[in-house]
Amino acid sequence: MSAPAVLVLEDGTVYHGEGFGASGTAFGEAVFTTGMTGYQETLTDPSYRRQVVVATAPQIGNTGWVAGSGSADGAGYGVSDDESGAIWVAGFVVRDLAPRPSNWRATSSLPEEMARQGIVGIAGVDTRALTRRLRTAGAMRCGIFAGDQVGTPELTVAAMLEQVRAQPSMAGADLTGEVSTEAGHVIPADGTERFAVAAIDLGIKANTPRMLAARGIRTHVLPATTTIEQIRALGVDGVFLSNGPGDPATADAMVALTRDVLTAGIPLFGICFGNQILGRALGFGTFKLKFGHRGINQPVRDHATGRVLVTAHNHGFAVDAPIDRVSDTEFGRVQVAFSCLNDGVVEGLECLDRQAFSVQFHPEAAAGPHDAGYLFDRFVELMATGAAAGPAASTKSATGKVSA
């Protein structure tokens, strides 16, 4: 028999359901994602740190959990669907939990893996009604209470609500240190190496180094505490700022590092949290969105080409920059390069006098559409331009390395 569970929002709204995964209590910011597929990638995305994710897709768990065996064949058997080494969401809310997985690649079920990692879930919730509330009132703190504690005299709605309201807000949350790697590691290029990149791990997803490797790039995944001196010592051709959780207004150290990279003239590419960091380094502010963008079907316009991309998103903060004009900054002229067609939010920045650009969405798209994959090619072009410009624009060490 399934254990009873209760979801309580900070505005006092209560949803009853059945617990799955681990028993216990989970607190976080309630947010919804509109992706119809890719729940495993979502759950293992570090950008969801301290968030309780609501799936708008009506049935979840059909494909089970694909942990992988470490070896792969041409059909992808043995390759994990994880985007990191652990589930990062604080909790998971679904409407209809599949009773069993139907996937030849599955190594276990979703509830089994969530229980193994201590993640609390609630099923049987009217997620359409819940999503409408979050769209109206905005993302808010919440708690999932599951197991034998539900229904006891001590755990009244008032007691649960008190615990929820005692939780910290996502505004002002500094979470980079909780998700960044402690020690750097290297992902080699596929085939002939063309460039090397320092990827600052603010919550990086596994598919990003894969996308870089496919373009002949060796990726040094580095901690968020990395300094400009350490980047120079590696002799890399470019710097990548990854996605990640938390409020960009707290990331002063990363902003300072980004300013050092811009000053040094090193080609730079940032996504998601990295876009917000670049925005702050250029002098723009950031702000918290009412309910954020999360899903794999967000329309974004590329201002350079007029092309509309269907893109993957996961962000609750955005850059405050003028869309209708070029801005003058300490690092030269900057323009908004992408914008969201749903609400006009800034979705990317481009430096016109520096070799740097960023996007708020996820061109690595795991899971999601591949419309924006060409942005990794833009990064390659930036590094090729930097290499052609000579030593003044390069961070290569005295020993040198293969380049385009």
Domains and CATH numbers, the chain: 4-165 (3.50.30.20), 176-393 (3.40.50.880)
195 has binding-site annotation: no
Describe the crossing of helices 273-281 and 252-264 by its angle, rounded to 10 degrees: 70
Which CB contacts under 8 angstroms, 24+ apart, belong to 348-353?
A: 348/275, 348/300, 349/275, 349/278, 349/279, 349/282, 349/284, 349/319, 349/321, 350/304, 351/262, 351/282, 352/326
C-beta of residue 109 within 8 angstroms of C-beta of residue 78:
no
Tens digit of each residue's pLDDT, the chain (404 residues) = 579 999 999 999 999 999 999 999 999 999 999 999 999 999 999 999 999 999 999 999 999 999 976 555 555 556 789 999 999 999 999 999 999 999 999 999 999 999 999 999 999 999 999 999 999 999 999 999 999 999 899 899 999 999 999 999 999 999 999 999 998 999 999 999 999 999 999 999 999 999 999 999 999 999 999 999 999 999 999 999 999 999 999 999 999 999 999 999 999 999 999 999 999 999 999 999 999 999 999 999 999 999 999 999 999 999 999 999 999 999 999 999 999 999 999 999 999 999 999 999 999 988 889 999 999 999 999 999 876 665 444 443 322 333 32
Catalytic choice (41, 83, 350, 364): 364
Centroid of chain to Cα 199: 14
pLDDT of residue 1: 52
* Helix locations, 138-283, DSSP H: 157-165, 176-179, 207-213, 228-234, 252-264, 273-281
pLDDT of residue 386: 75
Hey, what are 168's tokens? 């910290």
The per-residue b/e assignment along 8-43, b for 16 or more CB within 10 angstroms, e otherwise, is bbbeebebebbbbbbbbbbbbbbbbbbbeebbbbbb
Question: Which residue in the block uniquely carries the two structure tokens 């980047």?
Answer: 231
Whether 370 sits among the annotated catalytic residues: the reply is: no
Catalytic choice (272, 347, 350, 351): 272
The pTM score is 0.92
The CA distances from residue 397 to 101, 148, 355, in Å, are 51, 61, 20
Whether 364 sits among the annotated catalytic residues: the reply is: yes
pLDDT of residue 400: 33
pLDDT of residue 403: 31
C-beta of residue 139 within 8 angstroms of C-beta of residue 29:
yes
338 has binding-site annotation: no
Centroid of chain to Cα 94: 20
Whether 362 sits among the annotated catalytic residues: the reply is: yes
Choose among 62, 135, 55: nearest CA to 95: 55
230 has binding-site annotation: no
pLDDT of residue 389: 63
Q: Check whether the bond before 367 is cis (ω within 30° of 0).
A: yes
pLDDT of residue 396: 39
